[in-house]
Amino acid sequence: MNWLAQISFWRVAWLVLSMAIVSGCADGTDYRVMQGETMGTYYRIQYAHTSSCQPSQFSVDNQLVAFNRSLSTYIADSELSLINAAPAGDIATTSKRLQHALSAAQRLWQDSGGAFDVTVGPLVNLWGFGAEKPQSWPPSKLAQAAAAESVGMQLLTLSPGGALRKHHANTYIDLSSIAKGQAVDEVSESLLALGCQDFLVDIGGEVRSAGLNRQRKLWRVGIEVPDPRQVGSVQRVLQMADNSVATSGDYRNFREFQGMRVDHVIDPRSGQPADNSVLSVTVVHQSAMWADAYATALMVLGADRGLAFATEHQIPVLMLLKSPTGEVVERYTSDMQTFLLNNAE
């Protein structure tokens, strides 16, 4: 049976546990919520409305529309889609926004030994998880080999001035693993520039917080049980201020075929969907873009190498793994300890 368990993008992977949702807030601060849709998912902003923090939904929507027009592969004439469609040898002048994403992606590609690679797009499309749908599924070995030929950051040269040269006509950049987090950073920076001090920005589960929640306490973010049959149940709760959290998982966006389950995180080194016991990876980082990117990279690196990488780079990480008997096992780095509440709290 081949079914796409693409459960709705209204990811409830993050339940923002601001307990007093209805009862206003502890000291009379006026908390407000702004929400809408973007990048095939949702956005939700909670913020303390004050004389110096009065964001307009119109400007947030405009900012996200501009963001999509630059980095979306779902818009045929976006900046990124035009680069993806360009011939080999083509040199494009890139926007600061795209340069920011690509230079971070290049660094993580090097650091992760190729486990994180935003040129993985042809394989993501081939396995049915991208903007371009495959002709047949599952892809043949031949098709996988052909797609893999145009994958690898070595096939792109980004010069310091922002000129981007493609060395292979079929190189297709897919920023889905990093750009939602980047958008969260951009919206958060705009709120900070306005003078907002207490807010939580959530785009499709990538989250960044500042200050305190409506209870005037640290923000609390729930991490979902990594099981599509338990949508919305909470595995662990994190609490944080002035930090970001991102999760990458294999239990929401997957396909099954003859007992084989493949998900949307691809190992660029093998050309196949990452196949390890990792069900989800949650990363805390100042930047939502880096939290987003590291979460995908660690999904590919797997439990032992991923946790070793996170420890070496002092990254707070929680991994939810599937035990041989099918239970969910938690492993986390010491840096994650300070953010994790024990479930009784």
Residues in the chain, total: 345
Find, among 71, 266, 263, the residue nearest to 181 by Cα.
71
What x/- string results for residues 125 through 164 when contact with ligand FAD is judged by CB under 6 A? ----xx----------------------------------
Alpha carbons 102 and 108: distance in angstroms, whole number: 10
Q: Smallest gap, in angstroms, from Cβ of residue 29 to ligand FAD?
A: 31
Q: Smallest gap, in angstroms, from Cβ of residue 309 to ligand FAD?
A: 14
CB atoms within 10 A of CB 287: 19
Q: Smallest gap, in angstroms, from Cβ of residue 329 to ligand FAD?
A: 20
Q: Which among 70-78, 90-98, 214-222, 236-244 is the span making contact with ligand FAD, rule CB under 6 A?
A: 70-78
| 266 binding ligand FAD? (CB under 6 A) | yes
| 268 binding ligand FAD? (CB under 6 A) | yes
Applying the rule CB under 6 A, the residues between 269 and 328 that interact with ligand FAD are 292, 295-296, 300
Among 29, 63, 68, 106, binds ligand FAD (CB under 6 A): 68
Give the DSSP H or E segment for 125.
helix 121-126
Buried residues in 32-43 as b, exposed as e (16+ CB within 10 A): eebeeebbebbb
Q: If you write DSSP's letter for every residue of 253-296 in order, what string do you get?
A: SEEEETTEEEES-EETTTTEE--SSEEEEEEEESSHHHHHHHHH
Q: Smallest gap, in angstroms, from Cβ of residue 101 to ligand FAD?
A: 9
Q: Smallest gap, in angstroms, from Cβ of residue 31 to ligand FAD?
A: 26
The angle subtended at Cα 39 by Cα 37 and Cα 42, nearest 5°, is: 35
Alpha carbons 21 and 187: distance in angstroms, whole number: 23
Binding site for ligand FAD (CB under 6 A): 39-41, 68, 71-72, 74, 116-118, 120, 124, 129-130, 174-177, 179-180, 204, 248, 253, 264-266, 268, 292, 295-296, 300
